[in-house]
Amino acid sequence: MLRSDFNSDKNFNQLMQQIIVGILNAEYSHEQIRELIRKANGSLVKGEPIDLRTMQIRNNDKSYSLNDYLSAIQKLPQGKLLLAAMKSWGEDNKVQLPDEVVSLIQSVIVKEGKKEVNEDEDFIIIEEKRHISAEEDVYADRNAYLDEDNNDLYELLQKELGPEQVIGDSKSAYAWKFKSGQDNLDNKDVINLFFLGTSTPPLFGIHNVDVAETGHIICQLALQKAKKGEPTLLVKGIATANMGGDFPLSALKNPNIQGVSNSNFESVQKTLTTVKGTGAEKRVSMAMEQYFIPNLFKMITEKPLQHRQELMINLAGHSRGGITTFIAADCINQFIEQMINGKEGVDYDVKTLSQMCGLSQSEIRTAIQNIKDNQQKIKMKLCALDPVEGARSMADWSSPFSGNTPKIKVPIAGLTNQITCSYESMPERLSEACVFFASDERRSGFRPTIPSFSDKTKVVFKRAHGKHGGMTGNFGNDGNAGQFKYKTFGTNKKLQQAMIGIFDETLLAMNEFLSTNKELPCFPRNTLRRIFRQPEYANTKGLLLDVLSNHVQIELLNEKELILNIEKMMHEFPAMNFMFYEALHQDAEAAIENHKKELLSLETEWRQDTNIGTTLDRDAWHQDRKVYVRGKKVKGSVKWHEFDLEEMVPTRLPEVIYHGVRAKGMLLPLNKHNEALLASFYQFKNKIEFLANTSSLSLEEKRAILFGQDFDTFLDLLDNAAEFPENKEGILAMITELMIDLDYQYQLVEPGIAFRFQKVSDKLGLEIESLETRCADIQLESIIKYLLSGGINKLSFEETKTLINHVKELHDRVQYREKVDLSRGRISFDKYDDIALGFSSEQFLIYQRFLAILEDRLELKAELDQYIDGIEAYIESKQTVTGQDTREIEELLGRLKEVREKLNTFSNNMEDDAHAQRTLRTHMQSSLRDYKEKKGFQGYVAKYVKQAPGSVLCIQAVEESILNRKALQEMKREENLHQREILQQDLDTYMETVKQYIESFKWGKPEGSAGELLLALQALKEKSSRKQPSEVAEKMKRVVENYINDNAHKLTPVNRGYLVSYATSYDSCAAKILQAKEELQKKRLEIVKAKLMSPEQSKHKM
């Protein structure tokens, strides 16, 4: 409804008067005008526009129209600011503007062109207009914003890394402790020690050789942790130059600074240190004496361990820095053990420790006793990025007899003896470890090395694309020719930016792994700027802006202000950052996957980029990478892919199918309750993914873990949030996403997961069936888009099979499935018009055609596989047992293999592929028919005179096997489709069987357990109309199976070929139940076979 009386809204009237006159008379600064516009926007309501067509502005006792004043200020920067805001208000139906004002806005904002607008740094960019359409503008000269990144980092590091934060000796700085996180240690439950790799100085911003625009990943990780308020130490790499404490700041001003050598002597020294890999002992010693030990004792003094849930020590490093984390973990564990088991004055000196920590001797003794009493509270996590020790171990080379056994002696003040560390095996105190491998590194000196881990340590291995330095932000080649100096990269800025997704993926994974309280830090500012500029990160950008719009008026903020506000939001609501991390995971994966062809080319270049002059590495590029495992449990080299690797950039089909509902729909107003709900939601999602990938647990065990106390807590939070109408869309998105995860993607539950959300659904006024339909529609829409965009070309046979089976299940599950003709076992879409919403009829027909072709391709492949496997087994048995001539059937086998091979080499043109499949099927069938006919009289009269030849019998057996496979698949599908009907049939059959058994005893007495079984079945019958069919069917199955097993001694085992089965004795109720069960299955199988054998079904239409 139009609010025509402008004077009734005095607040907006006064603000507009103040803004316009203030701009005309230059009374306010740019920021003051911006603040006034924000206030004016706050007084407007979308859908209830204020009529500005007759508005008059008074100035110096005179009144002028709105158009007059706007014309006067249109060329002023502040005037443009106001015009942009008014344009947004008009588009959002908050105000109704005079026609002349609309024309004025068009002439100023649109016709002046993009270039002039973008030159004004503070120009407001409306959210919907923020997209840059010209691709070259996105990837044009990035120097301006990279310089801004470095300037921002410089200001930040000036506060964080002052002179008093430097650790080192008289010659050089070795480490930097961040100022943030050093106060209020009683509130801190973590200590971070991060180690850079060989020849790696602390580089936080762009560097022409060592890191791209990202800065080094370990530096960024340290800065993120410090900004989050965690005590954090960053240690420079082995074989770096002697450097001052201000090096991190100097490097931001000079991107050519080396940090590895600045004199001939130091260059030689650096080379020796690089080869030997020594220097870890000094870095670990300084980290222990000047950071870890003081922080440990201070934290325990301010808040004893018994009042903490845990005290976690996070270790992370790259390359030899990764090896150093193993050394540091061993050293820390041995230090703690000395505090627990050692004696004062014998093993350690309290006075020295007191001076080192700045605490009294009494406080030190109290802290040591507290460690003894609560040692289980001190734990460690370790994250190693492509840990390498070099061509030889990092042991001390001072003795010619030291060999390559990694023993490193670390002196620590306050301890009587040095600690002899190793990276052969890790202590039990290390609770979790995550090791990243670079899949495309092939240099012999860069073979990863890991220790043996305790059985009590949860170890995860991850694989990332690229070379040794790629995941850290270093995309240069071994010739140090600068970043992206590979042929495939060339000058393709889009490809360069997309491959930075490798860095983003790694940093996200490290942060998630090293977070102890499920609160993730804010993205680095450089990452946020990339999110705003890179089209492939649009999902994350949209999500950030959607959530931020609940907090501030984003249309009145420029890009810099938006980034600052996002940082503030991510800092104040850290539990919500799981949502943004997941979105960026998807976008980074998409960025890499969108350049799959270039990635394959890059992989070849990366792998061939070895020390080509050496004999050792000349042929390494086409070999498997190896990992050296040290320790007592396992020793020697292992092919890296033999580890249980998690793909950093997964290419599995579910990422395509299941993400239609992700992130974008997850909109909840920002408040503490919703923050707790989101945190619970993402913790539950992480548990789902973890259990889905855990092979050691049964399905029942996984379900028991899933639906325990954490799930009940989530449901309670969800129930409370449902009290507020504004949460409805966000809750709906949550439930939908969990249903898709639990049911469709990972299949951790039986169909009907929606009923677990019955209470919340009722409160929101939703029907359970509508939720299941929503899940199906979301995924079908995603599949249609995927196929129409050419995604079919990327699918393997296994992925195609997954897709087809999934589409069938989606069509089966929806509430209007009765409209779909599925009686013949093939996908039919004739009446499924609801799915076509949002697509043209032509697009939907193409989608149907695609699926029909895919389904036929799968079936043809399956039949060929069965024929080939059966014939190969037949040939092998004849050649081995009888030595029979098998040349004729071998020719048939060759023709079938040719057909199968051609099935893999299609044109990717839909109609051509359809024709090719028809041709190949005809060729397969004619080859089989010709072979049978080739047997002539023998084959023709076989069924009248004698048994057919063995090879013909083999083919007939395969044909029967194919029919059985199809029948079993279709029977299972029919059971899923008609669950309630089949459940009723089963219950009625079992109940009638038991009743007849009981009634057969006219004079005698039936076994008592039969009556109990009947009562149990009757109870399930009563529940079947109220409960989810799958739930009742599962209980019925358990009841029947338990009864048969309990009475197995009453069944008579008989030998039936290779199997031992049970004879059906009429003296036993269990035997009758077993017989009824078998007859039900047999009858259903015969019905399905009859359908499959019908003339219509036997034709392969495309």
- On whether both 106 and 245 belong to a single domain, the answer is no
pLDDT of amino acid 1094: 61
595 in any annotated domain = no
Coil, strand or helix: which one is 173?
Answer: strand
608 in any annotated domain = no
1072 in any annotated domain = yes
d(CA 371, CA 378): 8
* Residue 431 reports pLDDT greater than 70: yes
777-807 residue pLDDT tens:
777 777 777 777 666 666 667 667 777 777 7
Mean pLDDT of 951-957: 80
d(CA 388, CA 264): 27
Percent of the chain with pLDDT over 90: 20
Residue range of the domain that includes 839: 654-845
- 255 close to 153: Cβ distance less than 8 angstroms: no
Give the residue, 15 or 685, on which the prediction is more confident. 15
d(CA 269, CA 261): 9
pLDDT of amino acid 1035: 83
pLDDT of amino acid 708: 80
179-229 residue pLDDT tens:
988 877 777 899 999 999 988 899 998 887 778 888 999 999 999 999 988
Give the residue, 715 or 1008, on which the prediction is more confident. 715
- On whether both 34 and 182 belong to a single domain, the answer is no
507 in any annotated domain = yes
* Mean pLDDT for the chain overall: 77
Which of 813, 845, 877 marks a domain boundary? 845
| Highest-scoring range by mean pLDDT, 287-301, 741-755, 771-785 | 287-301
The model's pTM is 0.61
Residue 1001 φ/ψ, nearest 5 degrees: -95, 85
* Residue 246 reports pLDDT greater than 50: yes
459-478 residue pLDDT tens:
888 888 899 999 999 988 76
Mean pLDDT of 282-297: 95
- 67 close to 98: Cβ distance less than 8 angstroms: yes
Tokens 């869309």 sit at which residue?
729
Q: Which residues contact 385 (CB under 8 A, 6 or more apart)?
A: 217, 218, 316, 317, 318, 319, 321, 322, 436, 471, 472, 506, 510
pLDDT-derived band at 908 (thresholds 50, 70, 90) equals low
* Residue 80 reports pLDDT greater than 70: yes
Task: Tally the C-alpha atoms within 13 A of residue 586's C-alpha that lie toward its C-beta.
Answer: 21
pLDDT-derived band at 941 (thresholds 50, 70, 90) equals very low
pLDDT of amino acid 382: 96
- On whether both 108 and 197 belong to a single domain, the answer is no
Which of 495, 520, 545 marks a domain boundary? 520
pLDDT of amino acid 554: 81
Inter-axis angle of helices 728-739 and 709-721, nearest 10? 150
778 in any annotated domain = yes
- On whether both 282 and 218 belong to a single domain, the answer is yes
pLDDT of amino acid 651: 33
**Domain total of the chain:** 4
961 in any annotated domain = no
Cα separation of the two ends of the chain = 55
- On whether both 85 and 173 belong to a single domain, the answer is no
pLDDT of amino acid 392: 61
pLDDT of amino acid 296: 96
- On whether both 311 and 408 belong to a single domain, the answer is yes
545 in any annotated domain = no
675-711 residue pLDDT tens:
778 777 877 776 776 676 666 677 777 778 888 887 8
Radius of gyration in angstroms for the set of CA atoms belonging to the chain, rounded to a whole number:
36
pLDDT of amino acid 947: 43
- On whether both 21 and 90 belong to a single domain, the answer is yes
Residue 184 φ/ψ, nearest 5 degrees: 50, 55
* Residue 373 reports pLDDT greater than 90: yes
- The pair of structure tokens assigned to 577 is 């950052």
- 433, β-bridge pairs: 382, 459
* Residue 308 reports pLDDT greater than 80: yes
pLDDT of amino acid 381: 96
* Residue 256 reports pLDDT greater than 80: no
* Residue 265 reports pLDDT greater than 60: no
Percent of the chain with pLDDT over 70: 74
- On whether both 703 and 815 belong to a single domain, the answer is yes
Give the residue, 853 or 1065, on which the prediction is more confident. 853
pLDDT of amino acid 1011: 84
pLDDT of amino acid 411: 94
- 329 close to 193: Cβ distance less than 8 angstroms: no
1088-1098 residue pLDDT tens:
777 766 644 44
- The pair of structure tokens assigned to 194 is 């991060």
pLDDT-derived band at 524 (thresholds 50, 70, 90) equals very high
Helix (H) or strand (E) holding 458: strand 458-464
Which of 503, 520, 537 marks a domain boundary? 520
- On whether both 105 and 224 belong to a single domain, the answer is no
d(CA 440, CA 935): 55
Could you give the angle at the alpha carbon of 65 between the alpha carbons of 62 and 66, nearest 5°?
Answer: 120
Of the candidate ranges 419-423, 620-624, 633-637, 990-994, the one whose mean pLDDT is the lowest: 633-637
- 710 close to 681: Cβ distance less than 8 angstroms: no
pLDDT-derived band at 886 (thresholds 50, 70, 90) equals confident
Beta strands 95-96; 50-51: pairing state: parallel
818-841 residue pLDDT tens:
333 333 333 444 434 444 445 566
Note the residue count of the chain: 1102
- The pair of structure tokens assigned to 626 is 């190896």
* Residue 123 reports pLDDT greater than 50: no
Mean pLDDT of 539-561: 81
| Highest-scoring range by mean pLDDT, 167-181, 573-587, 870-884 | 167-181
- On whether both 339 and 426 belong to a single domain, the answer is yes
794 in any annotated domain = yes
- On whether both 102 and 185 belong to a single domain, the answer is no
CB atoms < 10 A from the CB of 820, how many? Answer: 19
Q: Which residues contact 926 (CB under 8 A, 6 or more apart)?
A: none
* Residue 377 reports pLDDT greater than 80: yes
- On whether both 109 and 180 belong to a single domain, the answer is no
382-419 residue pLDDT tens:
999 999 987 666 665 445 444 456 788 999 999 999 99
